[in-house]
């Protein structure tokens, strides 16, 4: 929307009114000098402020849209991540000038410029309360994901569902014992440590599965751990054998992106994952934002109910 001076200059003169700055000033209430300088190319205060902002208006609009979408997908972006996301947007400009990150007050100023956004503290909720509210959460999530999948730009083959599966390397055996006939226990205590290997798996909406990443419970990977050839498989190591934020980011870069980017052919990709915290790090958000990947998290404590339903829905 134009400022008052620009509006006054664009309005037609009244019958018999001289076409002078003085006449327009008296009618509009805008100072004569302001009308003169605006007519000779001086920008308004609002335009000057926009020119001095870190992001261009169109870039800020795109960021607002992204923040709203992530919030709708049950993955709201933390305020402390905003400067890094703004820096990612600014780096896309085709310019030889070095781009610097925004200052420490940029996120606060950004929020003031966009009253449609508001900051809020989100507390963790007890499991029992989650279980009681699971129906409403699932209904809301399907409404949101439905809007995403109905976008004509998103093709079925570019929608993916990923999950981690744990495999125990040692199982506890049963043994025969003699006990009292009144003893109903069918288990015994054991001091055996259970070792777990995790596989990160992913499948597309048209049934194409990606090559997995195997996470070993170790500090380094040894080639003799695999008995048969596994061409294209990726391996990682953590102390526990479970995924963490670093491994999840490596999977995104080394497995998911290379195996899906060519097929997408610059079209948007959708990645559905569980609500585990390793999927919402700054590195993951930046990578998805820069590579046109929409990250859709399942609502917390609903994976056991939605994972199978989501996979089946992708095939419909």
SS3 39: helix
What was the pLDDT predicted at 315?
46
With residue 269 as reference, give the H or E element that holds it. strand 269-273
Distance of CA 157 to the CA centre of its chain: 20
User: In the sheet that 234-238 helps form, which strands lie side by side, from edge to edge?
Assistant: 234-238, 213-217, 196-204, 159-168, 269-273, 293-297
**Does 122 fall in a domain?**
no
SS3 10: helix
pLDDT in tens, 104-118: 889 898 998 888 888
Domain of residue 301 covers 154-178+192-314
Band of pLDDT at residue 152, cut at 50, 70 and 90 = very high
| Residue closest to 231 by CA, chosen among 246, 252, 248, 212 | 212
**Does 38 fall in a domain?**
yes
Is the same domain home to 43 and 76?
Answer: no
Overall number of domains in the chain = 3
**What's the CATH code of the domain at 237?**
3.30.420.10
Is the same domain home to 219 and 289?
Answer: yes
- Ranking 46-55, 57-66, 106-115 by mean pLDDT, the lowest is 46-55
**Does 287 fall in a domain?**
yes
Is the same domain home to 261 and 296?
Answer: yes
Is the same domain home to 73 and 214?
Answer: no
Instruction: Provide the angle, in degrees to the nearest 10, between the axes of the packed helices 303-314 and 134-149.
Output: 30
Band of pLDDT at residue 260, cut at 50, 70 and 90 = very high
100/1 Cα distance (integer angstroms): 30
42/21 Cα distance (integer angstroms): 15
Confirm if 217 and 168 have CB atoms less than 8 A apart: no
**Does 222 fall in a domain?**
yes
**Does 140 fall in a domain?**
no
pLDDT in tens, 78-91: 888 899 999 988 88
Name the one residue in this structure whose structure tokens are 């495999």.
167
Is the same domain home to 63 and 17?
Answer: no
Is the same domain home to 92 and 234?
Answer: no
131/19 Cα distance (integer angstroms): 71
Is the same domain home to 93 and 205?
Answer: no
For range 287-305, the mean pLDDT: 80
**Does 240 fall in a domain?**
yes
Is the same domain home to 65 and 107?
Answer: yes
Give the highest mean pLDDT range of 164-178, 189-203, 255-269. Answer: 255-269
Is the same domain home to 41 and 67?
Answer: no
Question: Rounded to the nearest 5°, which phi and psi values hold at 40?
Answer: -105, 20
Whether 101 has a pLDDT exceeding 50, the answer reads yes
What are the structure tokens assigned to 2, written together?
A: 């134009």
SS (H, E, C) 181-237: CCCCCCCCCCCCCCCEEEEEEEEECCCCECCCEEEEECCCCCHHHCCCCCCCCEEEE
pLDDT in tens, 235-259: 888 887 778 888 889 999 999 999 9
**Does 187 fall in a domain?**
no
**Does 83 fall in a domain?**
yes
């Amino acid at each position: 929307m134009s400022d008052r001076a620009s509006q006054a200059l664009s309005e037609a003169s009244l019958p018999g009114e001289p076409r002078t700055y003085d006449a327009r000033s008296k009618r509009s209430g805008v100072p004569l000098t302001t009308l003169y300088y605006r007519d000779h190319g001086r920008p308004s205060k609002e335009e000057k402020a926009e020119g001095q902002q870190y992001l261009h208006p169109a870039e800020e609009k795109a960021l607002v849209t992204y923040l709203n979408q992530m919030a709708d997908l049950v993955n709201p972006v933390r305020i402390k991540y905003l400067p890094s996301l703004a820096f990612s947007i600014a780096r896309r400009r085709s310019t030889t000038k070095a781009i610097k990150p925004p200052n420490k007050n940029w996120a606060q100023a950004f929020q003031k410029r966009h009253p449609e956004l508001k900051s809020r503290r989100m507390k963790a909720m007890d499991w029992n309360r989650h279980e009681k509210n699971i129906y409403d959460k699932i209904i809301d999530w399907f409404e949101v994901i439905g809007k995403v999948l109905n976008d004509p730009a998103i093709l079925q083959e570019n929608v993916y569902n990923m999950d981690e599966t744990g495999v125990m390397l040692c199982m506890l055996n049963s043994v025969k014992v003699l006990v009292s006939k009144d003893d109903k226990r069918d288990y015994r205590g054991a001091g055996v440590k259970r070792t777990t290997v995790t596989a990160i798996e992913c499948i597309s909406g048209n049934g194409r599965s990606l090559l997995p990443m195997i996470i070993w419970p170790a500090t380094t990977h040894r080639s003799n751990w695999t008995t048969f050839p596994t061409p294209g498989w990726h391996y990682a190591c953590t102390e526990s054998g479970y995924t963490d934020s670093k491994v999840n980011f490596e999977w995104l870069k080394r497995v998911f992106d290379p195996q899906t980017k060519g097929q997408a052919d610059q079209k948007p990709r959708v990645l559905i994952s569980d609500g585990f915290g390793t999927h919402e790090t700054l590195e993951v958000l930046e990578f998805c934002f820069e590579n046109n990947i929409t990250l859709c998290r399942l609502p917390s404590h609903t994976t056991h109910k939605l994972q199978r339903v989501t996979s089946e829905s992708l095939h419909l």
